[in-house]
Structure 1
Amino acid sequence: MKRLLFSLLILLCCTGIFAQRITNNAYTLLKPDRVFDGRQMHNGWWVLVKGNLIEAAGEPGSITAPASAKIVDLKGLTLLPGFIEGHSHLFLHPYNEVSWNDQVMTESRAERTARAVVHARETLMAGFTTVRDLGTEGAGYDDAGLKSAIKKGIIPGPRMLVATRAIVATGSYGPKSEVAELALIKGGEEADGLEGITHAVRSQIGHGADVIKLYADYGWGINGNAPTFTEEELKTAVEVAKSSGRTVAVHSGTTEGMRRSIMAGVTTIEHGDGGTPELFKLMKEKGIALCPTLSATEAIASYAGWKKGVDADPARVKQKHYIFTEALKAGVTICMGGDVGVFPHGDNSREMILMVDYGMKPLDVLRSSTSINAEVFGLKNLGSIKVGYLADIVVVSGDPVEDMKTVKQVKLVMKDGMIYKEL
């Protein structure tokens, strides 16, 4: 125990030291075999970092590094922008360890925050330098505090876009009890009507929300999943959120829930299991992106006993294959986001691998994981290897265009010009 505490102390102290170092104008020259700039792969490129910014990127002959520059030889490796996780829950851990209900009801806020600190570090070490965290699921506004601690250099972790409590219709969300009079912690903030929705959105913004998350449907219908908010309620949420410059993410797994969300003009639809060719065409026309969360679907099926590659695909997995294929056909913008927390943090890249397995081109998956997520989420100076952009960089073995599994072989992680993991 003493050794563990000592190691943690050293880790935190080192993090603080690194955070101070990025304030100077030190140079680092990274020399990989190839560079993915957020759009295209370039063989033979180098990248020069000055302080926390990208100073130059391109052919070696175009880059002039000072004699004082730290040289990092990355022979045989690929350099990319730091990956951006599009759908994360740092305050959750896999449901086969502890069910969602029990995490919300029986794990203290202190325990959940302690877990989130560990999850943040695991995420960063996996090459994900930014996450969009879509709800604390009963842990209040603690994600805003976690974001602040990371930003101050108190703990290592990715940049965070936080949704705080998320917004649900009264009576729709869990946890629930057969004892109607029992007051339980809820996994989201309940709100109803145009006035109630307006208040909830503004309150969450006031408590630190960067993105507004709503549940357009949930499993509260007589026959399962059913819509929750009306189209007008969703439109109100979008209007209030977007007037402050914030994006809106909507959980939706039904056709009607998706239709209402699309008509309301949300930014992204999460899951999208009720998608149809007609709805995906409409999403394309309105510029609404899909975050398909393939990994969560497969993880939940595996917790129910499904053995991938051995058993026949269950209906929910077949449906995910269908909607993903139809979204690609329609040209819908695809965000990379796995709903990590349902499965282990640090294994975020399994979503990238599944996106290829489900039919997306590897180069498009890399774009979704970097520049496209940055664009959809409104992240400035991130997601690309460009002069003047923040030096968020990941280096992996081999060439992910040839084999996406190489994204699991992370050799170097830099965030804001600071190296957290290196050869």
Structure 2
Amino acid sequence: MTSFLIRDVQVFTGEDTIPNGYVHVSDGKIKAVGPMSAIPELSIPTHSRPGHTLLPGLIDAHIHADMANPTALPQALRFGVTTVCEMHNELANVVKLRKQAREPDTAAYKTAGQAATIENGWPIPVITAHDKSAETAAEIAKWPKLSCREDVVEYLDWMEAEMQPDYIKLMHESGTSMGWPLAKPSVGLQRIIVDEASKRGHLTVAHATSLQDTLEVLEAGVHGLTHTICDQPPTQELVDAYKRRNAWVNPTLATMGSLTGEGRELQDRFAHDPRVKGLIDESAVHNLCNCMGFAAQHGKVEYAYESVRMLKEAGVDILCGSDAAGPAVGTAFGLSMHQELYVYVHKIGMTPAEALRSATSLVAKRFKFADRGRLAEGLNADLLLVEGDPLADINATLNIRGVWREGRMCSVHQGKLEE
């Protein structure tokens, strides 16, 4: 691998800002970061980019590359997402995606593997409502269905042997936000999953979209939630539950807007932003311009926004993730992360720096990814170069001029670096 230097650039390290600095990359790692006053003399390829900002590659804390979607990892990288965290997939798809992630021009891949499910529990009803094929039914029939500690131990043994998961995903969905009465695991079963997973050193994360479901799964002891609530206004009890467990939330607010049907205007704006032309195809544009609407009658996106405002004010960590998925209309791999950052600043009241931390260093910290998420010596050279200053205007994150994963530049942006 080659070495190169990016200089005369504002550097956001994932934690702090260097107004006029440089980053030295060597063999896929960051060799040095600092102010221009301390730049070393090196005879290597050098790019001077005044008026630009260099950031850590974004980490999307929540995607679903269903059916080993071949678009997910390349499209994510084109939008500056250098790592994706998948939250549920079958073994065959995980194997394919890990192979894809070893190819150039793809994001790095982290996964929960097969989520912990129960008979007829989430996401089985929503999948079978839209896909009644024999193939899908046969695949779901093979999913582990948990009901007791023995099942949980067997499930985790299988996961470790076959999937090597980066974290364990729990499903705790009653259907309240959507008006669907769904089978939901008991809090006791969820406690067993958390307990057994923790014994093995696994981080546990959970799906929940209603207030009561969230309170219950936090009581079970999970480390973080992969959605926020949208069924009713947030309460102090919710804040207290997060604080008591030192849990984080990945609220997926752009997806919540699609779920309630209220996000269409913003989705359309991002889908037709001239800066995304050439980075997504027309089918992806069409997908982003529609809403799921499952919670249109029973939820409001403002409840989701207010819950994050309250949690942020209380010091709860907010992680950025899109919940982008092939069949989930209203989302687009990579691009939805930029919409999420926009919402954090303009609807939640985060500063741009807080929003950018939520998509870089904070995700890495809470998921214990020690080799990424910051621009620091010895870490992966996962970089995003944008024109302008996203620390002043978060919308500048889409002014993409270069993306590197482990020091290798995404080929789509190679010409832009020299413009």
Between the aligned partners of 1:220 and 1:76, the Cα distance in structure 2 is 48
**CA deviation vs aligned residue, 1:159-208 (integer Å, no higher than 9, x gap):** 11111221222122323469x9x956439643222222232233223222
Task: Note if 1:198 corresponds to 2:174.
Answer: no
For 2:375 and 2:263, locate their aligned partners in 1 and report how far apart those are by CA, in whole Å.
Answer: 42
305 and 418 in structure 1: CA distance in 2 versus 1, 3 angstrom threshold:
closer
**Distance in 2 (alpha carbons) for counterparts of 1:326 and 1:86:** 21
> Do 2:338 and 2:398's aligned partners in 1 also have CA atoms closer than 8 Å?
yes
- Which residue does 1:363 correspond to in 2? 353
Distance 1:88 1:417 in 2: 24
- 2:253 is the counterpart of 1:283: no
Which residue number corresponds to residue 340 of structure 2? Answer: 351
Partner of 1:150: 101
Q: TM-score, normalised by structure 1?
A: 0.80
What is the rounded CA distance, in whole Å, between the counterparts of 2:265 and 2:28 in structure 1?
A: 45
For 2:397, the equivalent position in structure 1 comes to: 407
**Residue among 207, 231, 240 paired with 1:251:** 207
**Matched letter for residue 117 of structure 1:** P
Q: Which residue number in structure 1 is paired with residue 22 of structure 2?
A: 46
Q: Distance in 2 between matches of 1:305 and 1:295?
A: 7
**Hey, what's the Cα distance between the residues in 2 that align with 1:157 and 1:309?**
24
SS in 2 for 1:297: helix
The match for 2:277 is none
Match of 1:104 in 2: none
Distance 2:238 2:181 in 1: 18
State whether structure 2 residue 306 is matched by structure 1 residue 317.
Answer: no
Deviation at 1:339, TM superposition (A): 0.7
Task: Give secondary structure in 2 for the equivalent of 1:167.
Answer: coil
Q: Secondary structure at the match of 2:77?
A: helix
Q: Which stretch shows the higher mean deviation, 320-329 or 213-222?
A: 213-222
CA distance in 1 between counterparts of 2:189 and 2:18 reads 47
Percent of aligned positions that are identical: 22
Structure 1 contact 57–386 (Cα < 8 Å) conserved: yes
The 3 A distance-change label for structure 1 pair 235 and 48 is: same
> Whole-Å Cα distance in 1 between the matches of residues 239 and 140 of structure 2?
32
CA 1:218–1:207 in structure 2 vs 1: closer, same or farther (change >3 Å)? farther
Task: Give 1:301 shift.
Answer: 3.8
- Quick one: which of 181, 185, 198 aligns to 1:229? 185
Name the structure 1 match of 2:371. 381
Q: 1:49: Cα distance to partner?
A: 1.0
In structure 2, the partner of 1:80 is 55
The answer to which of 271-280 and 286-295 deviates more is 271-280
Answer whether contact 2:52 2:386 (CA < 8 A) is retained: yes
CA contact (8 A) 2:248 2:316 kept: yes
Deviations 1:337-373 (A, max 9, x none): 1211231113132111111122222111111110000
Partner of residue 29, structure 1: 5
Counterpart amino acid of 1:332?
V
- Aligned residues of 2:170 and 2:206 also touching (Cα < 8 A): yes
Give the match's secondary structure for 1:29: strand
Amino acid of the structure 1 residue aligned with 2:362: I
Does 1:186 find its partner at 2:140?
yes
Letter in 2 for 1:186: I
| Contact residue 257 and residue 263 of structure 2 kept, 8 A | no
CA deviation after TM superposition for structure 1 residue 389, in Å: 1.2
The number of equivalent residue pairs is 367
Structure 2 residue aligned with 1:9: none
Aligned amino acid, residue 267 of structure 1: H
Question: Could you tell me whether the CA contact under 8 Å between 2:218 and 2:242 is conserved in 1?
Answer: yes
| TM-score, normalisation: structure 2 | 0.80
Contact 1:391 1:414 in 2 (8 A): yes
Query: For the Cα contact (< 8 Å) 2:360–2:374, is it kept in 1?
Result: yes
Distance 1:189 1:361, change over 3 A: farther
Q: Which runs of 5+ in 1 are unaligned?
A: 1-21, 92-111
Give the whole-Å Cα distance in 2 for the aligned partners of 1:143 and 1:406. Answer: 33
Please state if 1:125 is matched with 2:115: no
Within the candidate set 407, 410, 416, 1:417 is matched to 407
3-state SS, counterpart of residue 378 of structure 2: coil
1:254: how far off?
2.3
Query: Unpaired runs of 5+ in structure 2?
Result: 269-294
How far apart are residue 267 of structure 1 and its match? 1.6
Matched-pair contact (CA < 8 Å) for 1:277–1:327: no
Shift of 1:242: 2.4
Q: 1:70 maps to what in 2? A: 45
The answer as to whether partners of 2:8 and 2:36 remain within 8 angstroms in 1 is no
Residue 168 of structure 1 aligns with which residue? Answer: 117
Change (3 A) 1:259 1:244: same
Tell me which moved more, 409-418 or 266-275.
266-275
Structure with higher strand content: 1
Deviation, 1:395, is 0.6
| Matches of 2:32 and 2:81, distance apart in 1 | 22
**Cα RMSD (Å):** 2.8
Matched residues in 2 for 1:198 and 1:272: separation?
29
Instruction: Give a deviation string over 1:245-272, Cα, whole Å, max 9, x none.
Output: 3211100112232222212221211212
**CA displacement, residues 353-398 of structure 1 (integer Å, 9 cap, x when unaligned):** 1111222221111111100000011101211111111111111121
Post-superposition Cα deviations, 1:88-109, rounded to whole Å, max 9, x if no partner, equal 1122xxxxxxxxxxxxxxxxxx
Distance 2:54 2:4 in 1: 14
**Kindly tell me: are residues 83 and 237 of structure 1, through their superposed partners in 2, closer, same or farther at Cα, counting changes over 3 Å?**
same
* Cα distance per residue 1:308-331 (max 9 Å; x no partner): 699xx9642121122112211221
* Gap change, CA 1:307 and 1:35, over 3 Å in 2: closer
Structure 1 residue 223, shift from structure 2 partner: 5.4
- 2 CA distance for matches of 1:207 and 1:309? 37
Residue in 2 that maps onto 1:13: none
